Structure 1
């Protein structure tokens, strides 16, 4: 059983889908804790499922590095083997990344290396792209530059608006993330090997 931490900032839709996945006894993953950097609405899903959860606010620390240390310590207390950024809307400081990577993964709403950064869906539409998608990747010290683990494409409909496209990407993102974590748990994806080959 792979013990994971899930990190969120917002509504927690990816977290909810992972909780749903872990309700299947055949899914070899346990969510050991949920961490947030703010009063995320998605923490309610963790509460309802009886999953330990915590908030470590950057504003409470003198520097990003100090926050990263405290966030890492809170996660380490739950003896996790994989940290999953599932809607954490904050760039993690280098000391945090170094603590966990390559056992530190993220989802991104684009086919990386295309459209990195916080506005991937908007950027794809602005570029006139006919296709985008979702990527699950290892977090490194860059912004959306880590090794790609899995990707799935989403076609962009003519005249589609950002909110609608983002929602369609999320429908693909949730099962892709769950499947990627399963592949890590079952040894199909070996994070250290993927990172070393990058």
Structure 2
């Protein structure tokens, strides 16, 4: 059984989907803890599923590196096989990425390498493209630049707003995340071989 720690910053809709999937006996991964970099609404999902949670508030540390050191120490207490960034709106320090690599994955609401960064949906709309998408990647030292594990196109419809487009991307993101974690757990996806 693959042990997963999920890190969030917000509402945790991807987290919720992963918790629902892992509640099924035939799903080969289990979320062992949920962490956040601030008080996040999504921690309520962990509580609802009886999953322990922790908060390492970014604002409590003098630097990103100091925050990262404490975050890494806390993550390691759970002995995860995989760390999933699920709406964590903060770049992990390189020391954290290096310590956990390659077993850190992230979801992104764009068809990478198109529209990396915090505003992928807004940037796609601003560019006037006809389609964008969702991706699951391995986290590396860059911004949304790691190896792509799964991705799927999502059309941009006439009249789309950032909200309406993001709402159509989210279910695709959730499905890709659940399938990718399953693939890692079963060995279909070999992170070490990337």
Corresponding residue for 1:15?
15
Q: Secondary structure at the residue paired with 2:48?
A: helix
Runs of 4+ in 1 over 6 A off after TM superposition: none
Corresponding residue for 1:155?
155
- Aligned CA RMSD, in angstroms, stands at 0.7
* Deviation at residue 23 of structure 1 after TM alignment: 1.3
Structure 1 gap segments, 5+ residues each: none
Corresponding residue for 1:129?
129
C-alpha distance in structure 2 between counterparts of 1:130 and 1:192, whole Å: 35
* Deviation at residue 193 of structure 1 after TM alignment: 0.7
Q: Any residues of structure 2 matched to 1:25-174 within 5 Å, and which?
A: 25-174=25-174
Q: Secondary structure at the residue paired with 1:159?
A: coil
TM normalised by structure 2 equals 0.98
Structure 2 gap segments, 5+ residues each: none
* Deviation at residue 85 of structure 1 after TM alignment: 0.1
C-alpha distance in structure 1 between counterparts of 2:60 and 2:29, whole Å: 32
Aligned residues: 194
TM normalised by structure 1 equals 0.96
C-alpha distance in structure 2 between counterparts of 1:191 and 1:58, whole Å: 28
Q: In the TM superposition, what whole-angstrom CA distance separates every residue of 1:156-188 from its partner, at most 9, and x where no partner exists?
A: 111211100000000111111000000000000
C-alpha distance in structure 2 between counterparts of 1:67 and 1:150, whole Å: 30
